[in-house]
Amino acid sequence: MRTLFACDLDNTLLVPGRERRDGDICAEVLNGKEQSFITPAAPVLMQKIMHDDDIIFLPVTTRSKEQYERIKLPVIPRYALICNGTALLRDGELSDEWEEHFDGIIKKHLPEAEQLLEKYRETQGVTSIRIVDGKFLFAAFRDSDTASEKFAEFAGETTLDIALSGRKIYWLPPGADKGTAVKRFAETHGCGRIIAAGDSTIDLPMLDIADTALVPDSGLAEKCRCGDVRVLCDGARFPDFILENIKD
Ligand SMILES: [Mg+2]
């Protein structure tokens, strides 16, 4: 049976600069600065997964196409779900069919995202706020405490799905989440089993629908509705834990 390995990128497969350790390999450069890393063990583990015909490795990220394309992995995945699953890349090209499917859902909610953009544009502590690739609203704050405080305030002011991830807040069209997208991909690509890995609540929809969910802490595990949740063990690094669990 073919397995779909749906893997979030930031803070899941990719190590952010602030958590970099000796020997980590740079996977992303932004404005001349090294931004994201993979662990020293990741290249060999990823090669093994890529050479297994029974596994499809599918990066699933909220990143835009431009942000995704900055990442240089030691293997080139054939497919990737970007923009929180609402766009599918196949061999680097956007799928029109995928786009049309999700555009129908997104269009209904875009006017509200545009209104919120205007409303929150001048909010104190916001360092960036924009609509990503015409699909969802995103805001970054100066720190995670400010984001968390604002999240509590904003949550009651929208009909969109709102998610907090570190110092970022996302307003997402209901029905256009990572879980819906991963499920649709599995169905259309003959995958009978889904293993999903993610580190934040924005990943929950895909962790919930997976047969096996890989998470970094018990807090996220408690929120996850998957029947087989595996939590990172003490001392291990999350990317290595994920990649080592794929073959089990
Ligand atoms: Mg993440």
Asked whether residue 76 falls in the same domain as residue 111, the answer is: no
Q: How far is the CA of 70 from the centre of ligand 1 (A)?
A: 16
pLDDT score, position 235 = 85
Q: How far is the CA of 121 from the centre of ligand 1 (A)?
A: 24
How many domains does the chain fold into?
2
Q: How far is the CA of 117 from the centre of ligand 1 (A)?
A: 23
- Domain-located, residue 101: no
| % of the chain with per-residue pLDDT over 90 | 96
- Domain-located, residue 102: no
Asked whether residue 140 falls in the same domain as residue 24, the answer is: no
Closest CA to 176 of 139, 206, 197, 151: 206
Asked whether residue 211 falls in the same domain as residue 90, the answer is: yes
pLDDT score, position 92 = 97
**CATH code of the domain in which 66 resides:** 3.40.50.1000
- Domain-located, residue 143: yes
Asked whether residue 8 falls in the same domain as residue 90, the answer is: yes
pLDDT score, position 246 = 87
DSSP secondary structure letters along 140-170: EESSHHHHHHHHHHHGGG-SSEEEEETTEEE
Q: How far is the CA of 103 from the centre of ligand 1 (A)?
A: 24
Q: How far is the CA of 36 from the centre of ligand 1 (A)?
A: 12
Residue pLDDT, tens place only, 80-139: 999 999 999 999 999 999 999 999 999 999 999 999 999 999 999 999 999 999 999 999
Asked whether residue 46 falls in the same domain as residue 16, the answer is: yes
Q: How far is the CA of 17 from the centre of ligand 1 (A)?
A: 14
pLDDT score, position 169 = 96
Asked whether residue 26 falls in the same domain as residue 90, the answer is: yes
Domain limit, last residue, from 172, 187, 215 = 172
CA distance 208 to 66: 28
Asked whether residue 210 falls in the same domain as residue 150, the answer is: no
Q: In what side-by-side order are the strands of the sheet with 15-16?
A: 15-16, 33-38, 25-30
pLDDT score, position 234 = 83
- Domain-located, residue 53: yes
Domain limit, last residue, from 172, 197, 222 = 172
Domain limit, last residue, from 121, 154, 172 = 172
Instruction: Look up the domain containing 152 and give its range.
Output: 107-172
